[in-house]
Amino acid sequence: MSLDKATVAKVANLARIRVEEEKLDPLAAELNAILGWVEQLGEVDTENVKPMTSVAEMQLRWRQDEITDGGYQEQVVANAPSKDEGFFAVPKVIE
Amino acid sequence: MTDLTRLTIADARDGLKAGTFSARELAAAHITAMDAARGLNAFITETPEKAVEAATASDEKLAKGEGGVMEGIPVAVKDLFCTKGVLTTAASHILDGFKPEYESTVTTNLWNAGAVMLGKVNLDEFAMGSSNETSYYGNVVNPWRRSEDDQPLVPGGSSGGSASAVASFSAMGATGTDTGGSIRQPAAFAGIVGMKPTYGRCSRWGVVAFASSLDQPGPMTRSVRDAAIMLEAMAGFDPKDSTSVDMVVPNFEAALTGDIRGMKIGIPKEYRLDGISSEISDLWDKGAAMLKEAGAEIVEISLPHTKYALPAYYIIAPAEASSNLARYDGVRYGLRVEGEDLADMYSRTRGEGFGEEVQRRLLIGTYALSAGYYDAYYLKAQKVRTRISDDFKEAFKTVDAILTPTAPSPAFAFGEKGDDPLAMYLNDVFTVPASLAGLPGISIPAGLSENGLPLGLQLLGRPFDEETVIRTAGVLEDAAGFDATPTDWWRG
């Protein structure tokens, strides 16, 4: 599997990262070097091996579904680059 | 009076209790040291007023015979921990101006134990790096220099500011976070002790997330005893972190009995890498001999999947990061770069706000999780992770702890590995396997390289058996007798 320029552009779009056109080729080369090195994982026999999804052997805890926190709108939006009447403000999305 | 900054946390604790000096005097000495060490660029934000205020409160408690286990001890906080009302950057442009409205659990625990905050210390951007060269706030300089030249060296990473602050006697201890070696490797590079506890021991709540199944806070100090004291203050069950483990926090300091007779220490043969320098392998042999001398039995063990740990890590960590860092979009906090529309604003904000290494990892992670590649990369890496974890489980059936080098080399100069991400990733070859398995590990300074730089040895233990790791590390520390310190050239 090798990434070409178009694939890098597609992935960058999925990641919502603007990448300048002239940077796509060098990035493709870097990413290919990393992915090429990762290919060695193919040597490991993982037949019937379960993926590791929990580090400590534990069950996720259950808790009551109840409100324990909140009611401080001003604090929630305190760091927003743009806010209005206690809401986060973004550029218009509906024409 | 003796220089208060040279004391260990344990000594300072005793001096404060005895009234030999006050917490305010201790804070003042460290504020002076922190100022004098500005050339190292260890701190992103200094909070001397807060330190004096907290020290004053500590003095009042101490006068009444009260106070927590770290009462009056000045510490630095890695700038990945959210601190209420104090700039928190993750060393990234994208968090410009972010002042959290809340305090992380680990720092809350430290303040409750009486610790005094000196400031927030530098790191690799979002903790992604092994040399502290990816920070938006500039490189951190290692207080150590080679004997033959005065070229500035990296402090390791990602907790490079923590390492530099503690090694330069600017702080008595510092919080670090370890995802693939980010506490242990900089500790080794700076000649200090760094401990990553078992995953789940310290809460991740309020710590800026990098890779959630790997991230784990831990202490960085100048002695094993200090690490035990600080870890006890930091650790504890937290219902706000779903993977925090509900277990009693032991008195870690009490584990330092000095007795490791009959203990079995494993030496993994796969860590004898081709091309590893003789000074690293000699130090490793010496460390094993010291533990044997103290009455432990040295056993060769095999961790057959060791070589696959790094490639598995460099899929798993970026994949988790690509998900975690999706939150930085210019809407809720930090930098916003305006665009033609909402999507364009997101892309411009993230394109300008994230540095090169972070972008590289987000792209790898996004690719590894994208439709059609998920099984080949992410699922495969998660299965390899199971095999790596099983290797350790098998080994711990016969041994009580594992001894390895911490890093394949001493600290290197800036730019030395800059062009090749893969060369940089190899710094973590000895630390990443235990991260994937979630095991507790500690790095202690055990000797000097031929050119006068500190070298570390790493001890790993069973999950939630930090006590055995600490006990063994204490014995190794005593036997190694590492007492070298860098010359304080930075004071100018």
Asked if B439 contacts B401 with a C-beta cutoff of 8 angstroms, the reply is no
Domain that holds residue B425: 4-262+399-491
- Please tell me which residue of chain A has the smallest CA distance to B198: A56
Residues B320-325, mean pLDDT to the nearest whole number: 98
Which residues does chain A have with pLDDT short of 70? Answer: 1, 95
A-facing residues of B in 199-218 (CB < 8 A) are 199-200, 213-214
Of A12, A44, A60, nearest to B305 by CB-CB distance is: A44
Report which DSSP code applies to A24: H
Residue in B410, B443, B441 with CA at minimum distance from that of residue B216: B441
Is residue B312 situated within a structural domain?
no
Averaged confidence pLDDT in chain A: 92
Q: What is the CATH number of the domain that holds B459?
A: 3.90.1300.10
Is residue B369 situated within a structural domain?
no
Is residue B204 situated within a structural domain?
yes
Structure token digits, residue B317: 């960590």
At B426 the pLDDT is 87
Three-state DSSP state, B301: strand
At A1 the pLDDT is 55
- Please tell me which residue of chain B has the smallest CA distance to A54: B213
Largest CA distance in chain B: 70
Asked if B355 contacts B126 with a C-beta cutoff of 8 angstroms, the reply is no
In terms of DSSP H, where are the helices of B248-379? 278-293, 309-324, 342-353, 356-369
Is residue B82 situated within a structural domain?
yes
- CB of B331 within 8 Å of a chain A CB? The answer is yes
At A95 the pLDDT is 67
Report in angstroms the alpha-carbon separations of B355 from B138, B349, B351.
Answer: 12, 11, 8
Is residue B381 situated within a structural domain?
no
Is residue B349 situated within a structural domain?
no
d(CA B27, CA B118): 8
Residues B84-89, mean pLDDT to the nearest whole number: 98
Report in angstroms the alpha-carbon separations of A79 from B80, B85, B87, B157, B207.
Answer: 17, 11, 11, 28, 17
Three-state DSSP state, B264: strand
Q: Which residues on B lie below 8 Å from A80 (Cβ)? A: 331-333
d(CA A72, CA B235): 28
Helix axes B278-293, B466-480, angle to 10 degrees: 100
d(CA B468, CA A52): 26
Q: Tally the domains of chain B.
A: 1
Strand locations in B13-63, DSSP E? Answer: 43-46
Active-site annotation of B, residues: 78, 158, 182
Q: Do B332 and A88 touch (CB under 8 A)?
A: yes
Share of residues in chain B with pLDDT > 90 (%)? 95
Residue in B358, B434, B12 with CA at minimum distance from that of residue B184: B434
Q: Do A41 and B305 touch (CB under 8 A)?
A: no
Rounded to a whole number of angstroms, the distance from the CA of B83 to the nearest CA of chain A is 14
d(CA B107, CA B83): 8
A-facing residues of B in 115-154 (CB < 8 A) are none
Report in angstroms the alpha-carbon separations of B229 from B115, B181, B226, B236.
Answer: 11, 21, 5, 13
Structure token digits, residue B63: 């006068």
Q: Do A15 and B366 touch (CB under 8 A)?
A: yes
Q: Which neighbouring-strand residues pair with A46?
A: none
- Dihedral-angle region of residue B81 (phi above 0 means left; psi in -120 to 50 means alpha; beta otherwise): beta
- Please tell me which residue of chain B has the smallest CA distance to A44: B384
Q: Do A82 and B336 touch (CB under 8 A)?
A: yes
b/e map B331-369, b = 16+ CB within 10 Å? bbbbbbbebeeeeebbbbbbbbbbbebbbbbbbbbbbbb
Q: What is the pLDDT of residues B402-425, one digit of tens each?
A: 999 999 999 999 988 867 778 888
Residue in B107, B124, B105 with CA at minimum distance from that of residue B181: B124
- CB of B327 within 8 Å of a chain A CB? The answer is no
Whether B4 shows a pLDDT value over 70: the answer reads yes
At B79 the pLDDT is 98
Complex prediction ipTM: 0.95
Q: Which residues on B lie below 8 Å from A49 (Cβ)? A: 383, 386-387
Residues B331-339, mean pLDDT to the nearest whole number: 97
Of B308, B352, B436, nearest to A40 by CB-CB distance is: B308
Residues B3-25, mean pLDDT to the nearest whole number: 97
Of B312, B360, B436, nearest to A41 by CB-CB distance is: B312
Q: Do A80 and B101 touch (CB under 8 A)?
A: no
Q: Do B97 and A12 touch (CB under 8 A)?
A: no
Residues B33-58, mean pLDDT to the nearest whole number: 98
Contacts across the A-B interface (CB distance below 8 Å):
165
Specify the residue for token string 């992770």. Answer: B385
At B38 the pLDDT is 97
Q: How far is CA B311 from the centre of its chain?
A: 21
Whether B254 shows a pLDDT value over 90: the answer reads yes
Q: Phi/psi at B390 (nearest 5 deg)?
A: -65, -35
> H or E segment at B178?
strand B173-178
Q: CB-based burial of residue B307 (10 Å sphere; 0-12 exposed, 13-18 middle, 19+ buried)?
A: middle
Confidence of residue B1 (pLDDT cuts 50, 70, 90): low
Among the ranges given (B118-122, B413-417, B458-462, B477-481), the one the predictor scored with the smallest mean pLDDT: B413-417
Rounded to a whole number of angstroms, the distance from the CA of A80 to the nearest CA of chain B is 5
Asked if B124 contacts B91 with a C-beta cutoff of 8 angstroms, the reply is yes
Is residue B323 situated within a structural domain?
no
Q: What is the pLDDT of residues B430-455, one digit of tens each?
A: 999 999 999 999 999 999 999 999 99
At B167 the pLDDT is 98
Of A8, A52, A79, nearest to B386 by CB-CB distance is: A52
Three-state DSSP state, B175: strand
- CB of B312 within 8 Å of a chain A CB? The answer is yes
Confidence of residue B125 (pLDDT cuts 50, 70, 90): very high
Q: Do A81 and B363 touch (CB under 8 A)?
A: no
d(CA B477, CA B410): 18
Of A8, A27, A93, nearest to B342 by CB-CB distance is: A93
Q: Do A55 and B360 touch (CB under 8 A)?
A: no
Q: What is the pLDDT of residues B171-202, one digit of tens each?
A: 999 999 999 999 999 999 999 999 999 999 99
Rounded to a whole number of angstroms, the distance from the CA of A90 to the nearest CA of chain B is 7
Asked if B243 contacts A56 with a C-beta cutoff of 8 angstroms, the reply is yes
Is residue B283 situated within a structural domain?
no
Asked if B296 contacts B263 with a C-beta cutoff of 8 angstroms, the reply is yes
Residues 6+ apart with CB under 8 A from B233: B68, B69, B70, B109, B110, B113, B115
Q: Which residues on A lie below 8 Å from B377 (Cβ)? A: 35, 38
At B491 the pLDDT is 86
Judge if pTM exceeds 0.90. yes
Asked if B250 contacts B469 with a C-beta cutoff of 8 angstroms, the reply is no
Selected for mutation to probe chain B from A18, A61, A69, A84 (highest B CB count within 10 Å) is A18
At B461 the pLDDT is 98
